[in-house]
Amino acid sequence: MNRLILNKIILALSTLSAVIGIGFLFWILATLSYKGITSIHWSTFTNDLVAGGIRNLLVGQFTMALMASAVAVPLGMMAGIYLREYGHGSKLASVIRNLSDVMMSAPSIVIGVFVFALFVDPFGGYNGWAGIVALAIMMIPIIISTTDNMLSLVPTELREAGMALGGSKHKIIMQIVVKAAKVGITTGVLLSFARIIGETAPLLFTSANNQFFTMDLTEQFPSLTVSIYNLATYPDLESRELAWAASFILTVIVLCINLIGRYAIRNKK
Amino acid sequence: MGGKLFRNFSFLSATLSFFLLVGIFAILFTYAQEAMHEFGFDFLFTEAWEADEDDEGGIFGGYVPIIGTLLSTLIAMAIAVPLAMGIAIFLTEIASDAIGKPVSIAIELLAAIPSIIYGMWGLFYFAPIVQSTVGGNGVGLLTAGIVLAIMIIPFMAAISRDAMNTTPLVLKESAYAMGATKFEVIKDVIMPYSKGGIIGSIILALGRALGETMAVAFLIGSVMSIPGSITDPTTSIPVLLANNFAEAQDLEMSSMYFLALILFVVSFIIISTAKFYFLGRKVKG
């Protein structure tokens, strides 16, 4: 009987771990929603940070994340295309693929330090461009890996059919292969966008933060996440409430983008 | 014509990761030179972090943040590994599809929550609990370690689950047909079969925990001293960088670059080991 009892114990413990995991998710989401919703006022969205709102922070965070995507998505996709369509099977492609995988897990704070050395220090101060570069560096490896994986799922026959029609290589890639992998790549782009929009560490000393509304990327640039970090540590109640409101909104944005991404994959299947 | 251009552009984009990695290493190494010359290997074992009054020199050592990073990661791993394995086992062998799917999605959503949210939540909700049950100030090694564990569990569980799922059904069925219990199938069939993926997921999570900044920044206490007990506040490399990097000058700044370089190189080694030795190309982190 001993082994049957042991079996029960282990299965019970495994189930318990799953319950604990889910428990934490609900605990975090519940406290976040409660604190967030009770701290949100209409003025939270209409005022800038200087007047107790997050309007400029939302605009700033989205501006930086979108600009970073505008750089990272084409570069990452082109790199992924090279790895899968041109360099496939070559030694060079496999080295690059591995390096890009390593880049994907590089500590984000180190990327912040690197960008500080290149784009903040020499230019005399924090600026929005530096924040964009830092986010783009975080995003590129994720896009490369998604593109690479999604292109690998496209059947070779499609490429051969394109060739049989006399299509040139880059036309086959763009008009047949990438199109076939469109859904997967879009999902990857959405998920990586969700990841960088919630990043704080790479922005701390690149874009830093700004209390005022600005679209001037040569200045310190407003950031939602950096503001949360600052606000949470202030002793006054109002700052703390604003930090909760901002955290709640950030989480809603990130989880929504994630769910949309997942939904897109499911529909395809 | 267009084809050639397209190909060259895609090739250049592909080489970008290489140049980024080399560039990061080169920049950190260059800026860390001053501290390297001044302190050499002793940097790793020097406890002091004091600027002279004229702000030009001083003694800077990485011992405290390095120990803080290692200890908080160790606590996180000690908690996360058993829980993540449990979740992975639950998802592959115990849960029916109707339960397993939503649990899987929930675990993946847990992984998507930005780290700063874990930090906020940990500071205002979890730290007081640690304070009232274990003692201390609330912020410190233990709190940072536990919240760090909660952060890396979903990631570790998801990769382990994928690895366990690759076990061929035939193998499992043969064992069940011999009268094996679920636990015996897990221990003697699934674990040996997916060992590489599981170890890989653990090492990859270890790399994440070492480099995690925001969650730990809220919770570790940011004090430059060696913790005397598990609830004492201390600091870690990413946290020290997050809080003090931008204000530092000269030799102190260079010491910060030195710390960033150490973190970068250590993560590089850990991640490469996980990827190439254990995971092959099958699993993504």
Which residues on chain A are in Cβ contact (under 8 Å) with B267?
105-107, 110
- Whether the pTM exceeds 0.90: the reply is yes
Greatest alpha-carbon pair distance for chain B in Å reads 77
Count of A-B CB contacts under 8 Å: 267
pLDDT digits 0-9 by tens, B28-75: 999 999 999 989 888 999 888 887 776 667 889 899 999 999 999 999
Task: Specify if A29 maps to a domain.
Answer: no
Q: How many alpha carbons lie under 13 Å from residue A86 in its C-beta half-sphere? A: 23
Determine the residue type at B22. Answer: V
* Surface-to-core class of residue A112, CB atoms within 10 Å of its CB (0-12 exposed, 13-18 middle, 19+ buried): buried
Nearest-CA distance A263 → chain B (Å):
11
Give the residue from A113, A220, A244, A252 with the most B CB atoms within 10 Å of its CB, the best one to mutate.
A113
Q: Among candidates A50, A3, A38, which has minimal Cα distance to B181?
A: A3
Tell me whether residues B183 and A24 touch, CB distance under 8 A: no
Tell me whether residues A15 and B103 touch, CB distance under 8 A: no
Q: Contact, B255 vs B263, CB < 8 A?
A: no
What sign for the dihedral angle of Cα B24, B25, B28, B30? negative
Q: Contact, B209 vs B270, CB < 8 A?
A: no
| Residue A93 lies in domain | 40-268
**Is A21's Cβ below 8 Å from some Cβ in B?**
yes
Tell me whether residues B17 and A21 touch, CB distance under 8 A: no
Greatest alpha-carbon pair distance for chain A in Å reads 73
**Is A107's Cβ below 8 Å from some Cβ in B?**
yes
Tell me whether residues B256 and A113 touch, CB distance under 8 A: yes
pLDDT digits 0-9 by tens, A65-88: 999 999 999 999 999 999 999 988
Domain of A189, CATH number, reads 1.10.3720.10
Which positions 216-245 of A are in contact with B (Cβ < 8 Å)? 225, 228-229, 232, 243-244
Q: In whole angstroms, what is the distance from residue B25 CA to residue B22 CA?
A: 5
Task: Specify if A21 maps to a domain.
Answer: no
Residues contacting B191, CB < 8 A, separation 6+ = B198
pLDDT value for B72: 95
Tell me whether residues B113 and A255 touch, CB distance under 8 A: yes
Q: In whole angstroms, what is the distance from residue A120 CA to residue A19 CA?
A: 46
Task: Specify if A44 maps to a domain.
Answer: yes
CATH for B81-244+268-279, among 2.40.160.20, 1.10.8.60, 3.40.50.620, 1.10.3720.10?
1.10.3720.10
Per-residue confidence in pLDDT tens, chain A, 269 aa: 688 899 999 999 999 999 998 898 889 999 999 999 999 989 889 899 988 889 999 999 999 999 999 999 999 999 999 999 998 888 888 888 888 988 988 999 999 999 999 999 899 899 999 999 999 999 999 999 999 999 999 999 999 998 899 888 888 998 899 999 998 999 999 999 999 999 999 999 999 999 899 888 999 999 999 999 999 988 888 899 999 999 999 999 999 999 998 887 766 54
Residue B283 has pLDDT above 50, yes or no: no
Tell me whether residues A201 and B85 touch, CB distance under 8 A: no
The nearest alpha carbon in chain A to B204 belongs to A105
Nearest-CA distance B209 → chain A (Å):
9
pLDDT value for B285: 38
**Is A95's Cβ below 8 Å from some Cβ in B?**
yes
Neighbouring CB atoms inside 10 A of B173's CB total: 12
In which element (H, E) is residue B17 found?
helix B2-39
Which positions 199-218 of A are in contact with B (Cβ < 8 Å)? 199-201, 204-205, 208
pLDDT value for B213: 94
Report the number of distinct structural domains present in chain A.
1
Tell me the β-bridge partners of B221. Answer: B234
Task: Specify if A187 maps to a domain.
Answer: yes
